[in-house]
Structure 1
């Protein structure tokens, strides 16, 4: 619990990011755009990695007070070919990769490569993007997770049926993808540590924040529930982005998990929070990593594999 007498951490306490470069996925609205705004105001060069560049350009034009520069590039995390193109075109150092994009509680559907949409976008897309960009990353990878990884529907990764074929549930699929995000961060940090890399893998969650995600829920009941909770309890996107900004810029141990400090972690100032036992399981993390490499065809960078072995 935070000290009530201490100043509450907010975006005005970001360090000077002049000369640093950040990529933010899903940056054209909600938490992503709020993250872009804060980083740009702190002086960073920010690349908005978005599925629809026209919407990305429109979003960039809404950013005010930026001391850094903004750039929009196309990226569809539900398409491995798009991810490979984005990474192939990257040049120069990348200080911060913010894996923010996500889909939630969708009707059953598939990515262009045949993966269940939520697992494919939220986990496999970011898994592939991170590993392809890792040779350029100098500081942090922050992956936006969710307290939904603790729900009863999210108790494990369905390794024998990752697409949940024949047993699909929007809530279970979302929970699995968010559990995967935390296991990915855990195993990524293990590999980075073994490689003696200075890069840190961090995770964050926004609490309950009012964004467009709730409008895409699979059923009218879920959409109505989301709207009600948004109206009564949600914090805005600027507040929801704070745990991500905290994880991206504060001196925290690798594999840290940041979230709101309020009761139930629904809202509040960013602090380090706990994760479920399942999300802390190193064997599940390694197994998920190996499966993800097989599914995407993307592996941990060879130049880091000299010391980062599976031993």
Structure 2
């Protein structure tokens, strides 16, 4: 079962992507993995950005077993460890050595490092450069007056919250939407045709196969998960729609800076997520932080 609309299906609704290049972070498992599969099956060359080479190679082998073979696109591992922003810059430099055009990329550090290449590609005739940021409806659970002024704000532990880890997760998803909207505003102001979209993938089962889960947890909770949560293949529908749907290319102004719900439906995030002053505060801190890390 599931609550996803059947209006969009990557298998039938995505165009031929044989001339497209895609870079996806966190793509050796879960929604990222499924997004790789949807796009590569339509001919795209996809760079699987992941930290662990063996896991990435296992994921690529699994893709081939599931039907990624001759006639489909190509999947290539790109080493990337996002614990340190300097690693993102290194990966971006390695990425630019390998290709001349980028279609989709989804990480703000990589976007910053790759901006010259994105701008160059966007200037080409009939180009359609998109930046897709995976956010979440979790941003709606953020309360109070969140700030992104400094590292202390980013590292807040929320010890008094009912679930500190979930609260931090929601804060990061709010940051995803704020950053995407601010990036779109700046690109549009500069006259760039690049489209930036943030997406909520829906309620997706990305944890049932984790080895860390106890047998008791799986026995007690997993029947509920399977009933109400979608498989990652469907969880990637909205990401695939944002990345490669012809509809987005035909109606760029409609989708620029938007927040999408499954499947590909424009939705309004919270007032907090639309706060331009908060988005600028986040942007300014990220720029300052990266500069301090040696990324000019």
- TM-score normalised by length of structure 1: 0.75
Q: Which residue of 2 aligns with 1:263?
A: none
Q: Distance in 2 between matches of 1:188 and 1:142?
A: 11
Q: Which residue of 1 aligns with 2:125?
A: none
Name whichever of 78-87 and 149-158 sits farther off.
149-158
Q: Distance in 1 between matches of 2:73 and 2:137?
A: 32
Give 2:291's match in structure 1, choosing from 285, 288, 297. 297
Checking the alignment, whether the CA contact within 8 Å between 1:247 and 1:256 is kept in structure 2 is no
Q: 1:174 to 1:217 in 2, by over 3 A?
A: farther
Q: Which residue of 2 aligns with 1:157?
A: 147
Name whichever of 155-164 and 17-26 sits farther off.
155-164
Give 2:259's match in structure 1, choosing from 227, 243, 257. 257
Q: Which residue of 2 aligns with 1:65?
A: 68
Q: Distance in 2 between matches of 1:214 and 1:165?
A: 30
Q: Distance in 2 between matches of 1:28 and 1:159?
A: 33
Give 1:207's match in structure 2, choosing from 194, 202, 211. 202
Checking the alignment, whether the CA contact within 8 Å between 1:27 and 1:49 is kept in structure 2 is yes
In the TM superposition, 1:19-58 aligns within 5 A as: 19-58=19-58
Q: Which residue of 2 aligns with 1:140?
A: 130
Checking the alignment, whether the CA contact within 8 Å between 1:207 and 1:240 is kept in structure 2 is yes
Q: Distance in 1 between matches of 2:58 and 2:279?
A: 38
Q: Which residue of 1 aligns with 2:186?
A: 191
Q: Which residue of 1 aligns with 2:10?
A: 11
Checking the alignment, whether the CA contact within 8 Å between 1:170 and 1:218 is kept in structure 2 is no
- TM-score normalised by length of structure 2: 0.79
Shift in Å, 1:194: 1.1
Q: Which residue of 2 aligns with 1:167?
A: 158
SS at match of 1:179: helix
Higher relative contact order (CA 8 A, sep 6+): 2
Shift in Å, 1:61: 1.2
SS at match of 1:24: strand
Q: 1:226 to 1:170 in 2, by over 3 A?
A: farther
Name whichever of 90-99 and 33-42 sits farther off.
90-99
Q: Distance in 1 between matches of 2:205 and 2:220?
A: 12
Checking the alignment, whether the CA contact within 8 Å between 1:156 and 1:179 is kept in structure 2 is no
Q: 1:180 to 1:152 in 2, by over 3 A?
A: closer
Give 1:95's match in structure 2, choosing from 94, 99, 102. 102
Give 1:287's match in structure 2, choosing from 281, 285, 293. 281
Q: 1:218 to 1:59 in 2, by over 3 A?
A: closer
Shift in Å, 1:133: 1.2
Map Cα deviations across residues 125-177 of structure 1 (whole Å, 9 max, x no partner). x3221110122223011000000000145863354632444634111111110
Q: Which residue of 2 aligns with 1:86?
A: 91
Q: Which residue of 2 aligns with 1:230?
A: 225
Q: Which runs of 5+ in 2 are unaligned?
A: 122-128
Q: Distance in 2 between matches of 1:240 and 1:201?
A: 19
Q: Which runs of 5+ in 1 are unaligned?
A: 1-5, 100-125, 261-268, 303-311
Give 1:130's match in structure 2, choosing from 111, 129, 148. 111
